[in-house]
Structure 1
Amino acid sequence: MKKQQEETGRVRRAIASRVQEPLSSDGFSVIVKHRHSVVSVALSDDDARGFSASKDGTILHWDVSSGEKEIYKWPSDETLKSHGMKVREPRNKKHSRATLALAVSSDGRYLATGGVDRHIHIWDVRTREHVQAFPGHRNTVSCLCFRNGSTELYSGSFDRSVKAWNVEDKAFVQDSFGHQDDVLAIDALRKERAISVGRDRTMQLHKMPEQARMMYRAPASSLESCCFISDTEYLSGSDNGTVALWGMLKKKPIFLLKNEHSVTINENGDHDNVEYNNSCTASSWVSSVAVCRGSDLAASGAGNGFVHLMAVEATALRPLFKLPLSGYVNSMAFAKSGKFLIAGVGQETRFGRWGCLKSAQNGVAIHPLRLS
């Protein structure tokens, strides 16, 4: 009974209090390498397989325990045309395949990817074949997520719209407008609802069947990332280094963890790490937040050299541990069991080249979490 309540999100699993301080030997280790910055990562429901997408258009599918990887082969222009996609000859062919978002369905059958070519590509995970290309967005597809327990897909784009699709029926479902600027992140749980954040400093809750929206305003900063904690609570990361906790009934954040990822300045007025000088502002952008599904354990990542673990309490966020990781943390995912955290990391930020950290490795890093 309790397990079923945890699955549906009625009862929150207490994991944060069980996380033990990481040993010096733990640390992040890169299990999958990419040539360019990793912008999106996802895990299958059984925690056994992972998926990652990079700015160079490479989409990989890998085994969490062994790190063995397989690549998704981009379909030919003829195949794309047969799916109703207009194939324009880009000046730089590789650039048009730049992938910025990725999501895997909870049954592990479908992988959705999106990026600069404005289309959403659906792949069959078992055969790694390209199944469908959805047109519809008028600009870069920036974020994707599947609704838990279904094949309904939500997408966000720089064209300021959020769209819903049914992957099983290969059909467009509906639009949701409301953002006044680029949509940067999106998330969904089991209900037909999605939250999205954008450069217009708002977080919006899209109630799909009712075709209604609720708008939440961030205090003076662009929101870079968001995720559901439960049906009525959300987490967001801002470009000023702040992590915020939101409640459904309040239009402003319930709790702010300020300067969580700001780059520290030492007594001489220098930045502790010289390399961060050029890209100091971009280093504090909280470009990814993640919650271990159905639990009180959360994490935030930026480019300041650390991933921060937090406990979600009734009306507050309590910092737990800082896990060192060099580079821009563009995407994260917790194992459902809470036993490890994966991070997509790179030398550059997710949407553009606002900063460059040469010492960082482009790839997927994994950190074990010890639970008492």
Structure 2
Amino acid sequence: MKYNNEKKKGGGSKRGGKKGSNERDPFFEEEPKKRRKVSYDDDDIESIDSDAEENGFAGGDEDGRRVDVEVVEEDEFADETVGEKKKRLTEDMLNRLREAKRREREEAGDDDDDEDDDESIKKILMQKQQEESGRIRRVIASRVQEPLSTDGFSVIVKHRRSVVSVALSDDDSRGFSASKDGTVMHWDVSSGKTDKYIWPSDEILKSHGMKMREPRNKKHSRESLALAVSSDGRYLATGGVDRHVHIWDVRTREHVQAFPGHRNTVSCLCFRYGTSELYSGSFDRNVKVWNVEDKAFVTDNFGHQGEVLAIDVLRKERALTVGRDRTMLYHKVPETSRMVYRAPASSLESCCFISDNEYLSGSDNGTVALWGMLKKKPVFIVKNAHRDKTDGITTNGILENGDHEPVNNDCSASYWVNSVATCRGSDLAASGAGNGFVHLWAVETNAIRKLYELPLTGFVNSLAFAKSGKFLIAGVGQETRFGRWGSLKSAENGVAIHPLRLA
């Protein structure tokens, strides 16, 4: 009877425990899965062993399984804080600099002690930090040597239609380009190997925040007119006639976000250096600020009475924009205020920062102008900077700042200065138009001086200097950046590179 009662008890618990039975308890369901995850197949163990032996290293646990040294190294620094990581990287850099200085002393036969090396390293680091922060200007223009007859622009990336925007990564190893046909390219500077960004389906774009317009013109909806890459190389931003700012992951080349908000074509983009803040300008006369990391809108900046055509941003929360209203605005974003600079005669087509207090602009009458923060008019003007030499007009006519008569405009779009660029933190600048030349400029105190002319056929719609100043990238095409105001059939649509020899 005792045996039967115990059996009944067990059976009773079985009948009454359907909800809380071991078979349905998540704890008992998950444990076999966990065991299966850590179990190793024989083939996996053999492949791990062979890989470790081929690389000349092997570690093992009590079961004899091999482990990758890279995993061990990652585990070694997995628990370090941000401060500890910064300290470790700083010590590594100092050790490399000390070793380089020691080798220099040995080669030169000097008997200087380590204290002298530390002092010179200190000066090098201070100068590097000041140059990167923009506190002092790097002297590069005087080091640029005259191009040889064999030097010239060479096309490294081809597009079907005109290239309207180019950008370089912070390490100068990769480049990005966008064209009027909606193609966005990612390419290697040294080899020219290209990768194309593939637009996702409409469903994915909607899930990423894009608002579709009805009826939709599919043929032109993905036409790109602007492009920018973040300084950390993680994000790429593109914009065009679909009124959205599109964010791409550079590592995977996948679309991650679409920012709506602009009511007209997105014409220009720029990341604030060292951050994930993105600035966008549009034909709706508005400049918007976005946080790409948080995928959020930040603020609006108004002030232009015409279409915004170009934008540039440095480290500070300050944006420089130009528009068809013949003004250049210096936006102080946190203060929601702005400074207005008025062009003497014509519409401004392009602009860029030289430093926090100096700017460069290009106009549709061929004028290249230097501006200072404390003056409402240009401090130095080069008239007809890209005028054709056969016109019988001085190509380097100079007009000092002050009241003057408007320059006679030419109907030809080939004289429009569509692009200006500077080598960040330096005195080297460049301007491009459609007259067949890219001009290099040296920025001096309250003046700019022409250095060299680099031949290039086509409308130069975008320029980008390497951070080192060793080469110049140009986005060129048969048509101007906005519209079809001119056409040069002899030009080749693509990205061209020109090496710069430094003394």
> Shorter-chain-normalised TM-score: which range?
over 0.9
1:258-337 aligned at under 5 Å gives the runs: 258-265=383-390, 281-337=412-468
Query: Is 2:486 the partner of 1:361?
Result: no
1:121-160 aligned at under 5 Å gives the runs: 121-160=246-285
The residue number in structure 1 matching 2:164 is 39
- For 2:204, what is the secondary structure of its paired residue? helix
State the alpha-carbon separation in 2 of the partners of residues 55 and 266 from structure 1: 31
The residue number in structure 1 matching 2:155 is 30
- For 1:226, what is the secondary structure of its paired residue? strand
Query: Is 2:321 the partner of 1:190?
Result: no
TM-score by length of 1: 0.96
Query: Is 2:168 the partner of 1:9?
Result: no
Q: Pairwise CA RMSD of aligned residues?
A: 1.0
- Asked whether the 8 Å contact 1:153–1:164 carries over to 2, the reply is yes
State the alpha-carbon separation in 1 of the partners of residues 202 and 213 from structure 2: 9
State the alpha-carbon separation in 1 of the partners of residues 238 and 211 from structure 2: 17
The residue number in structure 2 matching 1:103 is 228
Query: Is 2:365 the partner of 1:240?
Result: yes
Aligned with residue 77 of structure 1, among 202, 207, 223: 202
1:88-99 aligned at under 5 Å gives the runs: 88=213, 92-99=217-224
Query: Given residue 299 of structure 1, which amino acid in structure 2 is its aligned partner?
Result: A
Q: Which structure carries more relative contact order (alpha carbon 8 Å, separation 6+)? A: 1
TM-fit CA distance, 1:262: 1.5
TM-fit CA distance, 1:75: 1.2
Unaligned runs of 5+ in 1: 268-278
Query: Given residue 360 of structure 1, which amino acid in structure 2 is its aligned partner?
Result: A
- For 2:389, what is the secondary structure of its paired residue? coil
The residue number in structure 2 matching 1:203 is 328
- For 1:96, what is the secondary structure of its paired residue? coil
Q: How many residues align?
A: 361
- Asked whether the 8 Å contact 1:286–1:300 carries over to 2, the reply is yes
Moved over 6 A (4+): none
List per-residue Cα deviations over 1:211-251 (Å, max 9, x = no partner): 00000000010000000000000000000000000000100
State the alpha-carbon separation in 2 of the partners of residues 265 and 317 from structure 1: 24
State the alpha-carbon separation in 2 of the partners of residues 353 and 152 from structure 1: 32
- Asked whether the 8 Å contact 1:118–1:140 carries over to 2, the reply is yes
State the alpha-carbon separation in 2 of the partners of residues 179 and 289 from structure 1: 20
The residue number in structure 1 matching 2:340 is 215
TM-fit CA distance, 1:164: 0.5
Query: Given residue 325 of structure 1, which amino acid in structure 2 is its aligned partner?
Result: L
State the alpha-carbon separation in 2 of the partners of residues 21 and 251 from structure 1: 35
- Asked whether the 8 Å contact 1:263–1:280 carries over to 2, the reply is no
After superposition, the Cα gap between the structure-2 partners of 1:66 and 1:248, relative to the gap in structure 1 and judged at 3 Å, is: same
TM-fit CA distance, 1:84: 2.5
TM-fit CA distance, 1:261: 0.6
Query: Is 2:501 the partner of 1:370?
Result: yes
Unaligned runs of 5+ in 2: 1-125, 393-409
List per-residue Cα deviations over 1:326-366 (Å, max 9, x = no partner): 00000000000000000000000000000000000000000
List per-residue Cα deviations over 1:177-209 (Å, max 9, x = no partner): 100000000000000000000000000000000
State the alpha-carbon separation in 1 of the partners of residues 391 and 191 from structure 2: 41
Aligned with residue 344 of structure 1, among 454, 475, 480: 475
Query: Given residue 192 of structure 2, which amino acid in structure 1 is its aligned partner?
Result: G
- Asked whether the 8 Å contact 1:41–1:331 carries over to 2, the reply is yes
Q: What is the percent sequence identity of the aligned residues?
A: 82
TM-fit CA distance, 1:94: 2.8
State the alpha-carbon separation in 1 of the partners of residues 450 and 175 from structure 2: 27
Aligned with residue 183 of structure 2, among 41, 58, 66: 58
The residue number in structure 1 matching 2:16 is none
State the alpha-carbon separation in 1 of the partners of residues 391 and 294 from structure 2: 57
After superposition, the Cα gap between the structure-2 partners of 1:322 and 1:90, relative to the gap in structure 1 and judged at 3 Å, is: farther
TM-score by length of 2: 0.71
1:165-176 aligned at under 5 Å gives the runs: 165-176=290-301
State the alpha-carbon separation in 2 of the partners of residues 241 and 291 from structure 1: 18
Query: Given residue 359 of structure 1, which amino acid in structure 2 is its aligned partner?
Result: S
- For 1:175, what is the secondary structure of its paired residue? strand
State the alpha-carbon separation in 1 of the partners of residues 455 and 214 from structure 2: 43
Moved more, 255-264 or 60-69: 255-264
Query: Given residue 48 of structure 1, which amino acid in structure 2 is its aligned partner?
Result: S
- For 1:4, what is the secondary structure of its paired residue? helix
Query: Given residue 495 of structure 2, which amino acid in structure 1 is its aligned partner?
Result: V
TM-fit CA distance, 1:71: 0.3
Moved more, 85-94 or 128-137: 85-94
- For 1:303, what is the secondary structure of its paired residue? coil
TM-fit CA distance, 1:90: 5.2
Query: Is 2:310 the partner of 1:179?
Result: no
List per-residue Cα deviations over 1:43-93 (Å, max 9, x = no partner): 000000000000000000000000000000001100111123222355541
